[in-house]
Structure 1
Amino acid sequence: MKSDANRRDGWVVGIDAGGTRTRAVLADARDGQVRGEGEAGPGNALTVPGPELAAHLAEAVASAVPAAMRGQVLAVAAGFAGAARAPEEERGRVRARAALGAALSRLGIRTGAVEVHSDVEAAFAGAPGRPADGLALVAGTGVVAARIVGRVPAATSGGDGWLLGDDGGGFWIGREATRAALRAVDGRGGPTVLTATVGRALGVAADTLPPAGGGCWAPARRAAYRAGLLPAVLDRPPVRLADLAPLVLEAAADNDLVARGILREAVAHLVLTVHALRPRPGELLVVTGGLTAPDGPLLTPLAARLAGLTIVPVADGRAGAVALARLLTGHRPADTP
């Protein structure tokens, strides 16, 4: 039997599987230093079909872990959007474990120390000092927050997916941009540059777009625009509406009132998601995801609305996943840089 010291001498893999992309990191089990990285397509355990999810995981891990080092991987920890660590029969967890197992087997990584976490657990574990208790918010394509106790979620808020929730996330922002464009077409909403930018992004015919400079947009052109926009949206996977979120950020930066209103409402949704967990004054809140990571476009307004909390942004869940993988090898949190 290998000694504990030998068990620690090797490599660990941390995976951050989000709604937009899957990222993997190879790190030294002893000191957590990163030795390789890889990236692939979406990793949401509930919305990505199983074979596709396994393929994305395999692609990301293969890029991060050279073939010659795969037999020396001691532990793998993965944080998945759409999954949780408990209960065992939770659908996202079951799908994530199956896909991860298939990916690792395909690559010849045969360690028995493999654990599936939620994306919010991985994000929280990546905070400086590796805290055990506090709050975490992931605001990327989707939105979920959790109260963490002993590195395990004790309560969650949000995380209901694009059909029923994800209010304030990238999908929600992209959907609101599309709705704003349609409302501008028929007069239910005010004029916005999003009508043109969303139309172009979705491939609507150029001769149906609103005239540049605010000229007359004839009823026939409006009808043709709507007739082109609706099938363009419905022919794509719904979650792809998140691709339109950057258009809202650009329009808001140019002082488009409709776009600015969408972002204000997005921040209000994120605040409500955190407040549902009844945060205590000064409590730690770890935030990540494309919208609230360091330099994220909604980090500053969110921090202003949650000024009573200690907000710590982290880039993503990779560092946390590495820390959780190192725990599987016997390293204490204090051993994790």
Structure 2
Amino acid sequence: MNQAIGGSGSGPDSGSDSAPVPDSARAPALVVGLDAGGTRTRAVLADAAGGSLLGEGAGGPGNALTVPLPRLTEHLAQAVARAVPESARGAVVAVAGGFAGATGADEDDPGRRNALTALTAALRRLDIATERLTVTSDIEAAFASAPGAPADGLALVAGTGAVAMRITDRRRAFTVDGDGWLLGDDGSGFWIGREAVRAALRMADGRGAATVLAGAVGQALGLPARVLPGPGSTAPRSADVDGSSARSGADEPSYGDGTRAGADQPSYGGWTRAGREAYRGHLLPVVMAEPPTRLARLAPLVAEAARERDAVARAILDRAVDQLTDAVRALAPRTGERVVATGGLLGPGGPLTAPLTTRLDALGLTLDLVADGCPGAVALARLSV
């Protein structure tokens, strides 16, 4: 959808029907800021003098390492075209972008080279002729989005992935984690989603505590209702959910294979052994068929279960906060430093925001939350003019 304010051009790249932006012969100087992430690319048009927002648009994924160059170029062109009406493109004097998979600190960085190549091609396609191009990582741009566009401090991202970074003179000094789903991203949305599936599997195979996550995860992944724990014969009792299930006595339910839950076998409120085996048989193929990072979409289920006082879900979120706190601590923070944080887990009302704020408070650190890197990219573009 075209969200640009103004524009007198026609065709798919033209602006919306809102208040027009003056044509380039009369317009003040303009800048474009880009936040190119793993899921989508956002572009904003702003006044170079005051930084006021004039338009915005979105395109496809913008990871400079994982998106092939032709597609990356297309996604950048799409986002910028929607943000900048044709009539204003001649007035653009600078463009800055924060890219996942890139860094502004190393000119030989492969991601930076890819981002610069794709951005140059996208702007040429749209007849935006400025040579003032700034490429940074999405984290560096997010850091610059904090009030006052700070040059030095600490950045933390906790979304699908997780990474912490020390910023010096608006460039990465060093990084903690951000090592991807296989080796790291501890405390991220992926990490939380994976822990939810692990908890569900451990409940199903008899090694773990009962948790509402088993049902929630199974339902979210489209498992047949007949294999899910639920009302009636398969519902975990509230005592199980709180982590305080009774474990003995003839009143415990049968597992369906002739055995009964006893002191050495946890009870799951009637979820039979056969039912639990069927659950596992359906769950594993679904999970394995998807890219691992898709598990991040299960993180909200953990937050909801924690609000319902599920002990397993609460423990997962506590461990996630521990991981993020450890990442910040590894940056050797100094008392009073600001930590600029962004990502779905740390926005206003994010499930980790309050506990992480408390932990960082104890370290003498201040948490500044930003929505994304677009304001920072605009600030960096304005600084280059």
Q: TM-score, normalised by structure 2?
A: 0.79
- Counterpart pick for 1:265 among 313, 316, 319: 319
Q: Report the counterpart of residue 118 of structure 1 in structure 2.
A: 137
Are residues 44 and 261 of structure 1, via their aligned partners in 2, closer, same or farther at CA, if it must alter by over 3 Å? farther
2:332 alignment partner, SS class? coil
- Distance in 1, matches of 2:172 and 2:105, equals 9
Q: Report the counterpart of residue 383 of structure 2 in structure 1.
A: 327
Render the CA deviation track for 1:139-172: whole Å, top value 9, x for unaligned: 1111122111211121221221222211111111
2:150 alignment partner, SS class? coil
Equivalent residues of 2:105, 2:171 under 8 A apart: no
- Counterpart pick for 1:287 among 334, 337, 341: 341
- Distance in 1, matches of 2:185 and 2:197, equals 16
Q: How many residues align?
A: 323
User: How far apart are residue 49 of structure 1 and its match?
Assistant: 4.0
1:253 counterpart = 2:272: no
Q: Give runs of ≥4 in structure 1 deviating > 6 Å.
A: none
Which stretch of structure 1 is more off in the superposition, 45-54 or 200-209?
Answer: 45-54
1:317 counterpart = 2:373: yes
Render the CA deviation track for 1:55-104: whole Å, top value 9, x for unaligned: 33333222222233223222111112222113223232233333333433
User: How far apart are residue 14 of structure 1 and its match?
Assistant: 0.8
Are residues 40 and 196 of structure 1, via their aligned partners in 2, closer, same or farther at CA, if it must alter by over 3 Å? farther
- Counterpart pick for 1:190 among 185, 206, 209: 209
* Unpaired stretches in structure 1, ≥5 consecutive residues: 1-5, 330-337
| Structure with greater contact order relative to length (CA < 8 Å, sep ≥ 6) | 1
- Distance in 1, matches of 2:323 and 2:144, equals 24
Q: Report the counterpart of residue 98 of structure 1 in structure 2.
A: 117
1:80 counterpart = 2:99: yes
Q: Report the counterpart of residue 59 of structure 1 in structure 2.
A: 78
Are residues 180 and 116 of structure 1, via their aligned partners in 2, closer, same or farther at CA, if it must alter by over 3 Å? same
1:195 alignment partner, SS class? helix
- Counterpart pick for 1:278 among 329, 332, 335: 332
Pick the structure with more helix per residue.
1
Give the aligned CA root-mean-square deviation in angstroms. 2.0
- Distance in 2, matches of 1:38 and 1:237, equals 27
- Counting only pairs closer than 5 Å after superposition, residues 215-254 of structure 1 correspond to structure 2 as 215-254=269-308
Equivalent residues of 1:288, 1:294 under 8 A apart: no
Q: Report the counterpart of residue 200 of structure 1 in structure 2.
A: 219
- Distance in 2, matches of 1:208 and 1:169, equals 29
**Paired AA for residue 376 in structure 2:** G
Which stretch of structure 1 is more off in the superposition, 105-114 or 175-184?
Answer: 105-114
**Paired AA for residue 165 in structure 2:** A
Render the CA deviation track for 1:257-299: whole Å, top value 9, x for unaligned: 1111111111111101111110011112111111123332211
Q: Report the counterpart of residue 246 of structure 2 in structure 1.
A: none
User: How far apart are residue 45 of structure 1 and its match?
Assistant: 2.7
- Distance in 2, matches of 1:311 and 1:133, equals 14
* Unpaired stretches in structure 2, ≥5 consecutive residues: 1-24, 237-268
Q: Report the counterpart of residue 3 of structure 1 in structure 2.
A: none
Equivalent residues of 1:19, 1:140 under 8 A apart: no
Q: Report the counterpart of residue 164 of structure 1 in structure 2.
A: 183
Percent of pairs with identical residues: 63
Q: Report the counterpart of residue 52 of structure 2 in structure 1.
A: 33
Are residues 45 and 245 of structure 1, via their aligned partners in 2, closer, same or farther at CA, if it must alter by over 3 Å? farther
1:306 alignment partner, SS class? helix
Equivalent residues of 2:105, 2:172 under 8 A apart: no
Which stretch of structure 1 is more off in the superposition, 90-99 or 274-283?
Answer: 90-99
2:314 alignment partner, SS class? helix
2:340 alignment partner, SS class? strand
Determine which structure has more spread, i.e. the larger CA radius of gyration.
2
Are residues 197 and 58 of structure 1, via their aligned partners in 2, closer, same or farther at CA, if it must alter by over 3 Å? farther
